[in-house]
Structure 1
Amino acid sequence: MSTQKLAGGFGYSGPTIGFILLFQAIIAAIAQIRVVLCAYPIVYTFTPLLPGLSVTSSTLALVLVVLELWFKVVLSSIGYICSTIL
């Protein structure tokens, strides 16, 4: 049996792969922060308009309120994760 030295992915060394993954994580965190910062004002802009929709269709208003709450939960979860990482 021959012993062969294992190289990192694509022939890169372990520290180089670690640097690449670190750089990718930094870019992902910045992208998440930008998404949250752009989406929060949009979601909160539509919040005062939702009670007026109950006049036109109560089913539509209920669906939109549930969607808004889901968006707020998702955005706050992503924002919390980003703030704890940074």
Structure 2
Amino acid sequence: MQSIFWSVEEVAQRAKQFYENGIRQQVEHGDNIGKMIVIDSESGEYGIDKTGVETALKLKQKKPNARLFTMRIGYDVAVSFGGAIERTVE
């Protein structure tokens, strides 16, 4: 099966399966919490760095058509979009 035809949801699902079925136990410790992990959703190969950029570039060098998924170690989300919260007093 070629990953190039996978939807975004399939890429995410496959990468999360790799993470939950083995990678998590190897990487979730004090030194890595908050760092970014980039997972090749086809092979399960991964790398960790502060922003995920270096790892993504290395994985793409090895396999240019790799479908990569990035997440923050120890958190449920990789990126947070925020804004001001207005509080109204009645």
Q: TM-score, normalised by structure 1?
A: 0.29
Larger relative strand fraction: 2
Q: TM-score, normalised by structure 2?
A: 0.28
Whose Rg is larger?
Answer: 1
Larger relative helix fraction: 1
